[in-house]
Amino acid sequence: MEIFCVNGPHQLRGELTVRGAKNSVLKLMAATLLAPGRSVISNVPRILDVSIMSELLRRLGCGIDYDPEAGTISIDVPEEPGIQADYELVRAMRASICVLGPLTGRMRAAHVALPGGDAIGSRGLDMHQAGLEAMGAQAHLDHGYFIAEAPAGLHGAEIHLPFPSVGATENLVMAATLATGTTTIDNAAKEPEIIDICLMLQAMGAKISGIGTKTLTVEGVERLHPVEHRVVGDRIVAGSWAFAAAITGGDITVRGIDPQALPHVFKHLRDAGAEVSALPGSSGSRGLLAGIAAANSTGAHDMGFRVIGPQRPHSIRVATLPFPGFPTDLQPFVVALNAIADGVGLLTENLFEARWRFVHELARLGADVTIDGNHALVSGVEKLSGAEVEASDIRAGAALVIAGLAAEGCTEVSGVEHIDRGYEGFVEQLQALGADVTRVKKPEPFDIESLA
């Protein structure tokens, strides 16, 4: 078992560049299934989830050439890829469900195991099913698999999502690209990652309008072609570093991300007493869609921001909401900041009901947190103290490490495989910013069942 040993307190200072978004690259990899031939994706982060998705595509018959150091992946898609995504891989990563749309759209059938992934709450597939059925597919659950079949092919439809689901929007827009006729998706998700996938689909020959708005209109085409595409910068990783600067009283410059992708994050960081400024190359006047398109064509090294943390942050009140609201993936960092802030902070989680699991681990460091339904009331303490804690998901794990850097003494974080799924070289980047963090192997935990 590997753990992260974190010695604090330590301020983080320096500069780093984030690579492509985990929440985008996995979907872009799935989108290549829509076109036979070789597609090349660049700015790919070196994270575990990319390897998992690569193996899933291999089992569907694709050829994969992944260079993690260069950050590129080439995907050779056959004329007739497989249609079954098995539980062995899908359970490890919920994003695997994103092969559902392209397989149903192109192969007219998909058998995808019900997904697993992070332990942050239930995320049903009702909207995926309703949307595909509106487009002419027959969809049902059978022995742990989501089965979608459209022998005659998909056709255009008017689809209204009761909630702006990112996953449903992605699957439905991919499926619609090869459907006969026009599909309208109302109340679609507007996240930067949705913009990114739509731009890639356009480059492949898809006809999509309304990108970046709540209404996407897709005019189906007969065939798409392979493409080269650069992944949009990871706003969640960038936001993690922004909070790391505020929590540790540090000074961090982050490159490779359009600050427009984090509007409410910067507002709340300023409320907490941090200084936040955009880098000169980050022109917000052009709008998010234009900013992402520009970054895709020229790179985003000149884009970014700088955060200088206060000596001690002020407590803040935050509610998670779909984009452009505050992202749920950064919720654990808000709780960690409020844990050492001056005052009483409040976090309202509106998206995932089980995201409070990490709070019990944060309490082991001395945090004073009270949970009431979907609210977390956090009374700031002057200092945290090191302890053994366990990561339950990607973001909770990273937040526990950052909290450990604000604590006195040694914090041991287990469950680091979760962090590996979403953060590239996390320990190495922390060390480059001046943190005393190491990755070590530890004996397996005591097995109580062995006494039986």
368 is catalytic: no
| Residue 351 is assigned to a ligand binding site | yes
Residue indicated by tokens 């487009």: 135
> Which residue among the candidates 49, 118, 393, 420 is catalytic per the annotation?
118
| Residue 22 is assigned to a ligand binding site | yes
Q: Which residues of 152-178 are buried (b: 16+ CB within 10 A; e: fewer)?
A: ebbbbbebebeebbbbbbbbbbbbbbb
Return d(Cα 34, Cα 204) in angstroms, integer.
9
Return d(Cα 357, Cα 353) in angstroms, integer.
10
| Residue 94 is assigned to a ligand binding site | yes
For the chain, the straight-line distance linking the first and the last C-alpha, in angstroms and rounded, comes to: 23
Rounded to whole angstroms, what are the CA distances from 341 to 158, 356, 368, 408, 440? 48, 19, 11, 15, 31
Q: What is the 3 state secondary structure string of the chain?
A: CEEEEEEECCCCEEEEECCECHHHHHHHHHHHHHCCEEEEEECCCCCHHHHHHHHHHHHCCCEEEEECCCCEEEEEECCCCCCEECHHHHCCCHHHHHHHHHHHHHHCEEEEECCCCCCCCCCCCHHHHHHHHHCCCEEEEECCEEEEECCCCCECCEEECCCCCHHHHHHHHHHHCCCECEEEEECCCCCHHHHHHHHHHHHCCCEEECCCCCEEEEECCCCCCCCEEECCECHHHHHHHHHHHHHHCCEEEEECCCHHHCHHHHHHHHHCCCEEEECCCCCHHHCHHHHHHHHHHHCCCCCEEEEECCCCCECCEEEECCCCCECHHHHHHHHHHHHCCECEEEEECCCCCCCCHHHHHHHHCCCEEEEECCEEEEECCCCEECCEEECCCHHHHHHHHHHHHCEEEEEEEECHHHHHCCCCCHHHHHHHCCCEEEEEECCCCCCHHHHC
- Work out whether strand 13-17 and strand 2-8 pair parallel, antiparallel, or are unpaired: unpaired
Please give the positions annotated as active site: 118
Residues flagged as binding site: 22-23, 94, 329, 351
Residues flagged as binding site for UDP-N-acetyl-alpha-D-glucosamine: 94, 329, 351
Residues flagged as binding site for phosphoenolpyruvate: 22-23
